[in-house]
Each structure stands twice: as structure tokens, then as C-alpha cells.
Amino acid sequence: MVDSENRKGESARPSPTGYAGDASPSRAEAGGAASRKNRAYALLVAVAAAVGGLLFGYDTAVISGAILFVRGQFHLSSFETEVAVSAVLAGAALGAAVAGYFADRFGRKRVMLVDAVIFGLFAFLTSTANGLEAFVAARFCVGLAVGVASMLTPLYIAEIVPPKIRGALVTFNQLAITTGVVVAYYVDYLFSGSGNWRGMFITAVIPSLVLVVAFLFLPESPRWLASQGRFDASFRILNLVEDAAAAQQHVLELEAVVQADRLRLRDLFHPRFRMALIVGVGLAIFQQITGVNTIIYYTPMILQMAGFHSASTAILGTVLIGVVNFSFTIVSLLLLDRIGRRPLLLLGIALMTMSLGYLGYLFGAGHGARALILIDVLVYLASFCIGLGPIFWLLISEIFPTTIRGQAMSIASVTIWVFDFLVSVTFLSLVRAVGTGHAFWLYAAACVAAFYFSWRKVPETKGRTLEEIEASWSA
């Protein structure tokens, strides 16, 4: 129930068209045309905003091929190589930590616009670095932008698109991330013949400029506007992505939520929302300790360990990996709003467990297994891309309360980047300590724990509004 003040607000807004009882064919046809137009606009917003995800994917994956040449030019030790690879992740953790506060304070659009500028500026400075210190500093600052984009892009899309297609459109961000990874791998391959690692990094300036232009024209998040008490502005934007009746109903729900839940970040630790926090942070940890970014960041080195000795051949193998990554993210995108989040999540983790276990076995079989190793890596990444990869980012954009969603997502995002950093900065040391096969068996064991956690704790959110999901934590 909404109170009388909310009902007064309802009368101040345009009346919904195509209401029940109006059976006019012309009005029904107009309503269908409007619905198609609404969905087309929602798709346009999601695609434009997802350029932030493309930059996220590109700037984290480009190091995979570049590090082979950076390590040689700067004469890096194994530890220095780990630092050079992981600097962007340390920056991402800090970026994700502050992004929620600034997004809740100044709005999603303004923060993403500034973030796009940071992406371009420090991609350029990375390409001009003449020593390890300058390289690490520039990559750290790129990481700040990555951390902000990793959190805000799915948040922005989730807050603006209709619930019936939210899963698919938020997953556009994951598709953009995998596109960025594929493009980074391909650019690495193009420049690998000449060893021009600087060209690999400066290429990211182009999508940065595209993102700047996009956010000059994209609207602000209607949920953020509602959290600031700007319900009329919120209605106008929602009315662009769904019909007037649905937009009006969602604004009324937002009014009720905002008035009832004037929350602070500490309220996440209250029993009402504690499970949402546990789900978000738990999935963040498991997404990383199951080993995906050891594959993404160190693919050429792993393939060289498997017996692919040529740098260009190893980097070319990463292009194939990137294509699989991209293809199975599309599969996930098509299934999320049909099958649901939980079934895909559990299936993906189960397949990851089996492929990592087999990968550990293959590395003990010697170099004769190199073709099987490449195939098994592809199966592992395909499994990640239909489940844990996109579903983590989708769920953390759905499960937290409206008035502190940005800050709550920051906690989950910081967690993922901290564990990403820890896993990446220790991978080569772990391989030296226990061997490549045993390292992958450890990641397989983490997958078993991830499956149990997801089975017991992760809710289904398919087809529910963000406000319905928020209310469900009180049930």
C-alpha cells in the first residue's frame, strides 16, 4: 500500500494510456508500436553504456600479450612481472571503493563521464611509460577507471531498463567486457610481430572517446533521481523505456521504497539486508578464487607452459579463447531471462569444476597434451561465461536496496578486485610452489565450495522489479 501523499503525487503525473477496458484496435496498435519504441530505446541505452564494459575488458586483458614484451624491455623479474600485471587490479579495487559514494552523491551519469576521460588519459600515459615505475603508476590509474566502470555500468543499466529484459540488457555489459577481451587479444596479436606493446595500450583511447560522447547524451538513472526525491524526472525517463502505465506504477513503488528506506551504508549489516550482502560478497570472492583471471591475464604464458613456445602462436591462442568467451556470453544473454539466474549459475560452476580438474591432470601429462589443454581451457571459459561471469555482475545490480545501491555494489566490487589482485599477483608463485597441475586443482576445489554456496544462498531474481527484490529480503 502507498500512503495518501504518494497518491497525490500520482495525480500530478500524466495518465497512463492503453489502460484496461480500452479495447480500441487503433489504441492497441499504437500501444504495441510504443512498446517496441520503448524497448528499442532501452536497448540503445544499454549498448551505449556498455562501452564502459568494453573498456573494462580491454584494459584488463591487453596486458596478457603486452607483458611478454614489457617484461623483456624492462628486464622484469617474476615478482616485478606480477606487479606489472596486477597494478590495474589494485587501482580497480580503489576505484570500486569510491565509485559507490560518488555515484550515490553526484549521480551515475556524471561519474561515468569523468571515468571515460580517465580511461583515455591514462591509456595514453601507459603507452608512453619509459620504466617500470611509470608503467605501474599509469596502469594503476587505468585501474581506477576500470573499478568505477565495473560497478557503475551494470548498475546504471539495471536501474534504467524494464524488468522483463533486465537480465539480457545488463548482460550486454558482460558481452561488452568479453568483446573488449577479444579485441585486446586481437590487437595484441596484430602488434606481436613487431613487439609494439605501446600500440597495444594506446588503442584504448578510441573507445574512451566513444564513451565520453555517449554519456553526454544518455539520461540519468531514474532510480537515482527518485532517491533524490525527483520523481517527475524519474517518471519521464522510465516512460522512455516502458509504457506510461508501467512507468507510473514503478515510480509509485519507488516513492514507497524511498520514503520507507532512508538507509545508510551501515544498514546493510542489519539482519534485513545481511543476506543480500553475504550473497554479493560471497559471489565476488568465488568468481575470483575459481581462477578465471589467471587464464585471462596469463593465457600466453600458460600456453607456453603447455608447449606453445612461439609468442605469436601463444597470443593467437588467446584470440580463440576470446572468441569462445564472447560466443558463450551471448548464449548466457539469451537464456538469463528465460531459464533464470540460478540454473545457469549452478550449471556453469559444475562444468568449471570438471574442466579445472581435468586441466590439472593434463598438465601432469606433459607437453604432448597441449592441444587438449587448449580445448579444456576453452571449455572452462565457456562454462564461466554462461554462469558465474555474467550472473555475478547482474545479481549485484539487482539485490541491493535502492537508496544505497551504489555504495552496496561498491562493497561487492571492491571484494572482487581485491581477490582478483590476490589471485593474479600470486599465480606464478603458486605455480612455482606446487606445480601448474596442482594449482588448477586448488581452483577446482574452490569451484566445489562456490557450487555449495550458490545452491544454498543465491536467490532467483528473474522477472522481478528491483523494488520487489528489495522487499523480498524482509519476507
Least confident of 8-12, 66-70, 183-187, 192-196: 8-12
* 118 occurs within a structural domain: yes
| CATH number where 398 lies | 1.20.1250.20
* 223 occurs within a structural domain: no
Please report the pLDDT score of residue 343 as a whole number: 94
Comparing CA positions, the residue from 404, 106, 395 lying closest to residue 261 is: 404
Please report the pLDDT score of residue 20 as a whole number: 34
Least confident of 205-214, 270-279, 294-303, 372-381: 294-303
pLDDT greater than 50 at residue 323: yes
Residue type, 137: A
* 11 occurs within a structural domain: no
Angle at CA of residue 327, ends 326 and 329, nearest 5°: 65
User: Is residue 137 classed exposed, middle or buried when 0-12, 13-18 and 19+ CB atoms within 10 A define those classes?
Assistant: middle
Burial string for 144-178 (b: 16+ CB within 10 Å, else e) reads bbbbbbbbbbbbbbbbbbbbebbbbbbbbbbbbbb
Which residues constitute the domain of residue 162? 32-218+261-472
Most confident stretch, 38-47, 127-136, 264-273: 127-136
For the segment 446-471, the average pLDDT, to the nearest whole number, is: 89
Comparing CA positions, the residue from 451, 439, 301 lying closest to residue 357 is: 439
Count the alpha carbons within 13 Å of 105 in the hemisphere toward its beta carbon. Answer: 7
- Number of other CB atoms surrounding residue 433 within 10 Å: 10
Grid cell, residue 30, equals 499504437
Least confident of 3-7, 269-273, 442-446, 466-470: 3-7
* Helices and strands in the chain, H and E counts: 22, 0
CA terminus-to-terminus distance, the chain? 16
For the segment 135-141, the average pLDDT, to the nearest whole number, is: 96
Q: What is the pLDDT of residues 33-50, one digit of tens each?
A: 557 778 888 889 999 999
Grid cell, residue 170, equals 545488463
Grid cell, residue 68, equals 611478454
Report which of residues 265 and 391 the model is more confident about: 391
Report which of residues 7 and 214 the model is more confident about: 214
Name the domain count of the chain.
1
Please report the pLDDT score of residue 447 as a whole number: 96
- The C-alpha atoms of residue 293 and residue 86 are separated, in whole angstroms, by 11
* pTM for this model (two decimals): 0.75
* 368 occurs within a structural domain: yes
Check if the beta carbon of residue 297 is closer than 8 Å to that of residue 424.
yes
Most confident stretch, 27-41, 164-178, 297-311: 164-178
Phi, psi dihedral angles at 158 (to 5 degrees)? -60, -35
* 13 occurs within a structural domain: no
* 2 occurs within a structural domain: no
Report which of residues 366 and 47 the model is more confident about: 47
Report which of residues 380 and 370 the model is more confident about: 380
Check if the beta carbon of residue 221 is closer than 8 Å to that of residue 139.
no
pLDDT band of 3, cuts 50, 70, 90: very low
Report which of residues 456 and 472 the model is more confident about: 456
Residue type, 118: I
Burial string for 446-475 (b: 16+ CB within 10 Å, else e) reads bbbbbbebbeeebbebbebbbbebbbebee
For the segment 449-471, the average pLDDT, to the nearest whole number, is: 89
Give the CA radius of gyration of the chain. 23
| Residues 6+ away with beta carbon under 8 Å from 250 | 238, 242, 465, 467
* 242 occurs within a structural domain: no
Check if the beta carbon of residue 356 is closer than 8 Å to that of residue 366.
no
pLDDT greater than 90 at residue 68: no
Q: What is the mean pLDDT of the chain?
A: 83
Please report the pLDDT score of residue 27 as a whole number: 40
- The C-alpha atoms of residue 109 and residue 104 are separated, in whole angstroms, by 11
* 9 occurs within a structural domain: no
